[in-house]
């Protein structure tokens, strides 16, 4: 019997084993809960990144379809206007030599530059939407990479790799970043 606690010596040993067992159980449960929590958060973020990649692909498709179709409408309008104007001039020229100069006094069809302005605005707007989505994708990938690298996430998520995100840029941009220079400032190549 222990003089201090007035308990049999075997009882103290049993209590010590029970306390140690409960402590180990709590630690294992805590580590398991943390592992599950980190893994679930990583899976959520990975799925969010993959969904954002698909969203960017859809937006990119929309950008080029919109620009292409508006460009086709603008080109068709230009060609139709040219044909109408040529027909008017041909008709005036055939009727007699004095008729050709009447076009100065008559109301003639006017070419509306509004379609070109709309096309230009669409290009700018669509590219801005796509750029914004790509920036959001980059931010999500950064957050995911940080989660994998920072402690204690690095312990619970070891073996997981960062999500690879494809960024859509031009060959010109890639070349400029590769060389570190961009000397081409001429907008319209002739």
Distance CA 42, CA 147 (A): 7
Tokens of 121: 């605005």
- Which among 118, 134, 121 has a CA at the least distance from the CA of 170? 134
pLDDT at 105: 60
Distance CA 157, CA 151 (A): 10
- Which among 167, 114, 158 has a CA at the least distance from the CA of 138? 167
| pTM, to two decimals | 0.68
pLDDT by residue for the chain (190 residues), tens digit each? Answer: 555 556 666 777 889 899 999 999 999 999 999 999 999 999 999 999 999 999 999 999 998 898 888 888 888 888 888 888 777 777 766 655 555 555 556 666 677 788 888 888 988 999 999 999 999 999 999 999 999 999 999 999 999 999 999 888 888 888 888 898 888 777 667 6
pLDDT at 23: 96
Distance CA 40, CA 34 (A): 10
């Amino acid at each position: 019997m222990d003089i201090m606690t007035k308990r049999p010596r075997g009882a103290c040993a049993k209590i010590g084993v029970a306390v140690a067992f409960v402590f180990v159980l709590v630690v294992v449960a805590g580590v398991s809960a943390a592992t599950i929590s980190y893994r679930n958060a990583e899976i959520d973020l990975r799925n969010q990144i993959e969904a954002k990649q698909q969203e960017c692909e859809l937006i990119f498709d929309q950008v080029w379809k919109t620009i292409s179709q508006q460009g086709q409408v603008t080109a068709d309008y230009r060609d139709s206007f040219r044909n109408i104007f040529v027909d008017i001039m041909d008709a005036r020229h055939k009727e007699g030599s004095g008729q050709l100069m009447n076009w100065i006094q008559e109301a003639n069809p006017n070419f509306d530059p509004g379609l070109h302005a709309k096309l230009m605005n669409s290009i700018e707007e669509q590219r801005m939407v796509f750029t914004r989505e790509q920036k959001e994708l980059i931010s999500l990938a950064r957050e995911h990479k940080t989660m994998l690298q920072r402690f204690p996430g690095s312990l619970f998520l070891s073996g997981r790799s960062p999500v690879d995100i494809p960024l859509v840029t031009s060959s010109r941009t890639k070349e400029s970043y590769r060389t570190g220079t961009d000397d081409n400032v001429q907008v319209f190549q002739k």
